[in-house]
Amino acid sequence: MAPIEEGGFGRTLCVLTGASRGFGRALATLLARLLSPGSVWRQSWWRSTPGLRVVPVPADLGSDAGLQQLLGALRDLPRPEGLQRLLLINNAATLGDISKVFQTLSDPAEPFKGWTLYCAGKAARTMMFQVLAAEEPSVRVLSYAPGALDTDMQLLARETTVDLDLRKRLQDMKTNGELVDCGMSAQKLLNLLQRDTFESGAHVDFYDL
């Protein structure tokens, strides 16, 4: 892929999951301005943007069928002329049922719920991306932690998390105005991608930038 052009990403095929709301939506708005005419979006939600071809794919990415739907839609897409970049942003996520503690997760009828698995999933993703970076030197890979964002996910966290101390801490963050604005965090991510100097596979935290 070509080096990122100053001020933009050039003609790009961009796959952004979870763009219907929260961080993904804020990121989509800022990112669209950095794409050259002729670029293509694949995502689960977007309004029309002049010069960009937008292809919404409503799919449950937590199911194999949904994933296959997205992959099928990508395969069906004609390769845009003069393509300079493929940008895949894996943003979609849920907390699951965080009202349950670790021990209650042993019930095999309910194996995918709770912070335990959310955190384990994020840790697994970080390692997976490090392996991908090592295996594929031609691919630039980044794990970005966007900070405590003022989104639906954060609302769910402060209202239902099982640990009362954590719940209070999250509520205090909201009350004290400590939650991060999605647009500000999305802009930091885009700055990182545009500078393109991070070590491939790195984990970068909003609060360290």
Ligand X SMILES: NC(=O)c1ccc[n+]([C@@H]2O[C@H](COP(=O)([O-])OP(=O)(O)OC[C@H]3O[C@@H](n4cnc5c(N)ncnc54)[C@H](OP(=O)(O)O)[C@@H]3O)[C@@H](O)[C@H]2O)c1
Question: Which residues here bind ligand X, judged by CB under 6 A?
Answer: 17-18, 20-24, 44, 60-62, 66, 91-94, 145-146, 148-149, 151-154
In the complex with ligand X, the residue whose CB is nearer, 2 or 110, is 110
**Cβ atoms of 91 and 149 closer than 8 Å:** no
Residue reference for tokens 């099928």: 72
Distance of closest approach, residue 11 Cβ to ligand X, in angstroms: 26
Q: Give the nearer residue to ligand X in terms of CB position, either 94 or 104.
A: 94
Nearest distance, CB of residue 26 and ligand X, angstroms: 8
Pick the closer one to ligand X by CB: 40 or 92: 92
Residue 74, phi then psi, degrees to nearest 5: -70, -40
Q: What is the DSSP code string of 81-137?
A: TT--EEEEE--------TTS-GGGGG-TTSTT-SHHHHHHHHHHHHHHHHHHHHH-T
Q: How far is the CB of 5 from ligand X (least distance, A)?
A: 27
Name the residue number minimizing CB distance to ligand X.
22
Secondary structure of residue 55 in the 3-state scheme:
strand
Q: Closest distance between ligand X and the C-beta of residue 118, in Å?
A: 7
**Least Cβ distance, residue 48 to ligand X (angstroms):** 18
Q: How far apart are CA 195 and CA 106, in angstroms?
A: 45
Residue of 130, 126, 131, 138 whose CA lies nearest to 86? 138
DSSP 149: B
Nearer to ligand X, 51 or 68 (CB): 68
Of the pair 9, 115, the CB lying nearest ligand X is at 115
